[in-house]
Chain A
């Protein structure tokens, strides 16, 4: 009697778990639709021109950057809040890990409240590339390309291209050494020639094509030209040896993954001129 009873129990046990099969997650039903968000941030025009990329594929190569519009200031916490209110699947508690790592919006206490000491007008940080891209789309804009960002960032207060000015390089490098700028409100410093604020001194910024920067020379087997960037060849082909600041930015981009959320990395949007 006893063994029979035990056998019965074991059978019940096995079957009971089989009768509740592990629920297969339904990934196909994940919500993607972006809700449009009204945003009044001013865009300024950057007139196109030729740009000597930081590292050149061919000697004296110049890239043409067509005219474009770019946000006057980086996207702020307050602006990003409007976005997550309208798009709940981008809230801190909902965002899937494939789109943002666990440090997403770290300075926010919960889905809609910033931590103490975080200004609504400070740039939003701890934002992944996917999130920055989604935000840009929701306000009818896009992320700037590396080339656009770098082109616009060549300007100092007076001229569109100040890269030959050692003072300008010093100014940039100084700004990279200052800590905790990210807590400052946007748009408080002097704008550059184009009318753009905070290209330096506040946060690093995502670009649409950051994943074009290859640091590890992993492409060398494929195409010897691109290994110039960071192998020994780099020293010769990097067009401006004094442009250490640009090197830092490229290295930063090359080290990122698209779901990384970094505490001093934010973004601003751009738009085509039509």
Chain B
């Protein structure tokens, strides 16, 4: 009897074991990750990178341009406040990414200066630029609208997006009076997954 019982327990555990590990394998592959985009970007230090190199970090992204006088400074402020709300202990695992919609004007030097001026010099801050084609592709992935309306100005949507560590868009907030706390909470949720 005792022996049978043992056998039973072993077989239950064995099947549980098989089953639990098997589950991971049959998961649908992720195909909506921004890490699948092939585009090459340049950061504020002039280093070239692909988005896939950010895999494993939670991303918070906003598309702006440095010569913008109205909405972008506010969006930038929102990003900084989100970072403050989330707190330092998450900085290693998070990247706050500004992406230029005006890559012609926003050179590496301009991006670097913009981050300095806005006190965004920690390792968690990234400012990216690419060519117009790649910029448009990324904007379309974010459902972000923009249009150049004069040699120096763009009209654009104001969207802050959060991506999981696998590059899947999990949260977007649109507008200029957004609730910082909800974005910060989402970032923490992603970290704790």
Residues of A within 8 A of B (CB): 5-6, 9, 12-13, 16-17, 20, 22-25, 27-28, 30, 32, 57, 95-98, 129-130, 209, 211-214, 216, 218-219, 221-223, 225-226, 254, 257-259
The residue from B144, B155, B174 contacting A222, defined by CB atoms under 8 A apart: B155
Q: In the complex, are the beta carbons of A211 and B70 less than 8 A apart?
A: no
Q: Are A25 and B13 in contact (CB under 8 A)?
A: no
Q: Is the CB of B21 within 8 A of A223?
A: no
Are the CB atoms of A30 and B68 closer together than 8 Å? no
Residue contact B38 to A32, C-beta cutoff 8 Å: yes
Other contacts beyond A17-B21, A221-B158, A259-B141: 9, CB < 8 A: A13-B20, A27-B166, A96-B36, A129-B140, A211-B136, A211-B139, A212-B147, A213-B145, A219-B157
User: When the two chains form their complex, are residues A16 and B147 in contact, meaning their CB atoms are under 8 A apart?
Assistant: no
Report yes or no: B33 in contact with A218, Cβ–Cβ below 8 A. no
* Majority secondary structure of chain B interface residues (helix, strand, loop or mixed): mixed
CA distance A126 to B146 in the complex (A): 24
Q: Are A30 and B143 in contact (CB under 8 A)?
A: no
Task: State in angstroms the CA–CA spacing of A44 and B167 once bound together.
Answer: 42
Q: Indicate whether B156 reaches chain A with its CB closer than 8 angstroms.
A: yes
Contact present for A98 and B70 (CB under 8 Å): no
- Tell me the nearest residue of chain A to B32, going by C-beta: A97
A residues less than 8 Å from B98 (CB atoms): none
Chain A CB within 8 A of B29 CB: yes
- Binary CB contact string for chain B from 135 to 172 against chain A (1 if under 8 A, 0 otherwise): 01101110111110100010111100000001100000
Closest A residue to B136 by beta carbon equals A211
Contacts of B174 in A (CB 8 A): 218
Interface status of B16 (Cβ within 8 A of chain A): yes
For A219, the chain B residues whose CB sits under 8 A away are 71, 145, 155-157
A16 in complex: contacting residue of B21, B36, B157, B167, CB < 8 Å: B21
Q: What is the bound-complex CA distance between A225 and B155, given in angstroms?
A: 9
With a cutoff of 8 Å between Cβ atoms, the chain B residues found around residue A57 in the complex are 149
A262 to chain B, nearest CB (A): 15
Knowing A9-B9, A28-B52, A258-B141, say if A22 contacts B24 (CB, 8 Å): yes
Judging by beta carbons under 8 Å apart, are B147 and A27 in contact?
Answer: no
Residues on B with beta carbons closer than 8 Å to the beta carbon of A223:
70, 149, 153, 155
Total A-B pairs in contact (CB under 8 Å)?
Answer: 113
Q: Does B4 contact A (CB under 8 A)?
A: no
Please give me the residue from chain A that is nearest to B75 by CB atom: A222
How far is it, in angstroms, between the C-alpha of A212 and the C-alpha of B147 when the chains are bound? 5
- The answer for the CA separation of A142 and B157 in the assembled complex, in Å, is 25
Does B122 touch A at the CB level, under 8 Å? no
Q: How far does the Cβ of A211 sit from chain B's closest Cβ, in whole Å?
A: 5
| Minimal Cβ-Cβ distance residue in A for B167 | A27
B31: interface (CB < 8 Å): yes
Distance between Cα atoms of A95 and B149 in the complex (Å): 34
Q: A211 to B166, Cβ gap below 8 A?
A: no
Tell me how far the C-beta of B75 lies from the nearest C-beta in chain A, rounded to whole angstroms.
10
Q: Does B46 contact A (CB under 8 A)?
A: no
Contact between chains at B146 and A212 (CB < 8 Å) = yes
Chain B positions within 8 Å of A97 at CB level: 31-32
Given A211-B144, A218-B145 in contact, is the A98-B17 Cβ separation under 8 Å? Answer: no
Chain A: which residue is nearest B37 at the CB level?
A: A98
B36 & A258 in contact (Cβ 8 Å cutoff): no
Which residues from chain A contact B87 at a C-beta distance below 8 Å?
A: none
- CB of B55 closer than 8 Å to a CB of A: yes
Give A130 to B139 CA distance when docked, in angstroms.
12
Looking across the interface, which residue of chain B has its beta carbon closest to that of A254? B145
Query: Considering the complex, which residues of chain B in the window 105-151 have a beta carbon less than 8 Å from any beta carbon of chain A?
Result: 136-137, 139-141, 143-147, 149
Q: Is the CB of A211 within 8 A of B13?
A: no
| Residue from A9, A95, A218 within 8 A of B13 (CB atoms) | A9
Whole-angstrom distance between the Cβ of B148 and the nearest chain A Cβ:
8
**CA A5 to CA B6, docked complex, whole Å:** 9
Minimal beta-carbon separation of B4 from chain A (angstroms): 14
* B137–chain A nearest beta-carbon distance, Å: 8
Take A13-B16, A218-B157, A222-B156 as given contacts and tell me if A28 and B145 are in contact as well, using a CB distance cutoff of 8 Å.
no
Q: Which of chain B's residues has its CB closest to A98's CB?
A: B32
